[in-house]
Amino acid sequence: MWKQTEGSRAVAETVAHCRPEVIAAYPISPQTHIVEELSRLVRSGTLDPCEYVNVESEFAAMSMCIGASAAGARAYTATASQGLLYMVEALYNASGLGLPVVMTVANRAIGAPINIWNDHSDSMSQRDSGWIQLYARDNQEAADLHPQAFRLAEELSLPVMVCMDGFVLTHAWERIDVPDQERVDAFLPPFEPRQVLDPAEPVSIGAMVGPDAFTEVRYLAHAKQTQALEAIPRVSAEFGEVFGRVSGGLVHPYACEDADTVVVSLGSVCGTVCDVVDEMRERGVRIGALAVTSFRPFPLEEVRAVLGGARRVVVLERAFSVGVGGIVSANVRTALSGIRLDGHTVVAGLGGRAITKASLHRLFDDALAGRLGELTFLDLDTGLVERELARMARTRRSGPSAENILRDVGSNR
């Protein structure tokens, strides 16, 4: 159903149409509008039967989803940032137990310094948690990815994280075709658990496993993610048949066929990158863009197929691995092993800093002109950083860096 609506509301309504039976909710910005709307939908009886539980922490939220899923119920929660980190232990547990929980992550930076705005530090930190991770490019896709997430999760018995950029998507209003009940029902069959707590057929779930079998059990997690590489495009195609649009899948190349330079990115910035690609193409630059929708599993073959023919790859990342650099880049490099080309990691949009078309134009021009290094922090104010580094070198008790830098920002104005 087409409507002018907020990203969070579209996601909440779509999730409701997926008929979750247990929703565990703990509020954190910028995820709040999703759980608020779901609360309303359950309270009004629109979503029924469903147990909506206000829990006391994200750790409890994920734990409750674990219990609900093991009891054979379709379970859902949403979180962001610190909340995702607070549930980490349970996150690994859900995937280790093979429980098909679906969770929306309203991507947000991680403190300190505390910051409520968007980047991908939260979900990227959980890339090894065993969850499938899908990144939405826009709100239509954010909504559409949820029925697909439940399909994938339940087919593979693996939890799925749908990542949507906090505020940029969650709080943006636009025209969205919210997947309606009838079509979601046609697309998403009822949950048939692979394992279930049932007094009629008692099983023990979560037994201790020693060195004799641990490797095999863990390998299965990898094998299931490998199966997801086949399932994700198939489910996306089936979604396309029911809903008549392209959403989800592993990767989305844009103007890549003849491109010398390809820009890899995830999430909402993909749209901006495509706009810049269009503008540069008008100038005759052979540039393309590759959106990675499935970051876990990472589609090595598909990425290699798109990038293998390029001369230059720029990976635009909204998070980084402190002490080494790119996270997505490292995965792209694995995909390209044995292929020689110029690779650039660009860390951009941290803590909500806007990634503007002007900055991207400058960046890509630098790349084309051979002026771009291996690791770049887009729009980094080096003056500010150098002042603080000098202060730290000068005095032992230089004080809290964040406050020092903020003071410098203030005095610069």
Q: How far is the CB of 101 from another protein (least distance, A)?
A: 10
Q: At what angle do helices 214-243 and 139-156 cross, to 10 degrees?
A: 130
The nearest distance, CB 102 to another protein, in angstroms, is: 14
Q: Which is nearer to another protein, 90 or 355 (CB)?
A: 90
Nearest-5° angle of CA 52, CA 19, CA 234?
A: 135
Rg (alpha carbons) of the chain, rounded to whole number = 22
Residue 76 is encoded by which pair of tokens? 């859902």
Closer residue to another protein, CB minimum distance, 26 or 254: 26
Rounded least distance, CB 17 to another protein, Å? 16
Of residues 173 and 214, the one with the C-beta less far from another protein: 214
Rounded CA gap, 191 and 146, in Å?
A: 14
The least CB distance from residue 81 to another protein, in Å, is: 19
CB of 61 to another protein, least distance (A): 8
What is the distance between the alpha carbons of residues 320 and 257, in angstroms, rounded to a whole number? 29
Q: Is 204 exposed, middle or buried (0-12, 13-18, 19+ CB in 10 A)?
A: exposed
Coil, helix or strand for 21?
Answer: coil
Give DSSP secondary structure letters for 353-400.
----HHHHHHHHHHHHTT---SEEETT--HHHHHHHHHHHHH-S----
Q: How far is the CB of 149 from another protein (least distance, A)?
A: 19
Which letter does DSSP use for residue 125 in this model?
Answer: T
- In Å, what is the CA distance from 237 to each residue of 19, 179, 182, 187, 244? 22, 15, 18, 11, 10
Choose between 82 and 107: whose C-beta lies nearer to another protein: 82
The smaller minimum CB distance to another protein, of residues 59 and 377, is found at: 59
Smallest distance, another protein to C-beta of residue 215, A: 13
Q: Least distance to another protein from the beta carbon of 93, Å?
A: 5
Burial of 36 (0-12, 13-18, 19+ CB in 10 A): middle
Q: What burial letters (b/e) apply to 277-303, b meaning 16+ CB within 10 Å? A: beebeeeebbbbbbbbbbbbbbbeebb
Instruction: Identify which of residues 27 and 325 has a Cβ nearer to another protein in the complex.
Output: 27
CA gap 179, 166 in Å, rounded: 21
Question: Terminus-to-terminus CA distance in the chain, angstroms?
Answer: 48
Distance in Å, CB of 158 to another protein, minimum: 16
Q: Please identify, using beta-carbon distances, which residue of 93 and 236 lies nearer to another protein.
A: 93
Q: Which is nearer to another protein, 15 or 256 (CB)?
A: 15
Q: Which residue's entry shows tokens 């001369």? A: 311
Nearest to 133 by CA among 167, 109, 97, 158: 158
Contact residues for another protein, defined by CB under 8 A: 21-22, 24, 49-51, 53-57, 59-60, 63-73, 75, 89-90, 93, 97, 197-199, 201-210, 213
Q: Which is nearer to another protein, 25 or 109 (CB)?
A: 25
Question: In angstroms, what is the minimal distance from the CB of 372 to another protein?
Answer: 45
For another protein, the closer of residues 115 and 195 by Cβ is 195
Token pair of 327, please?
A: 């996270």
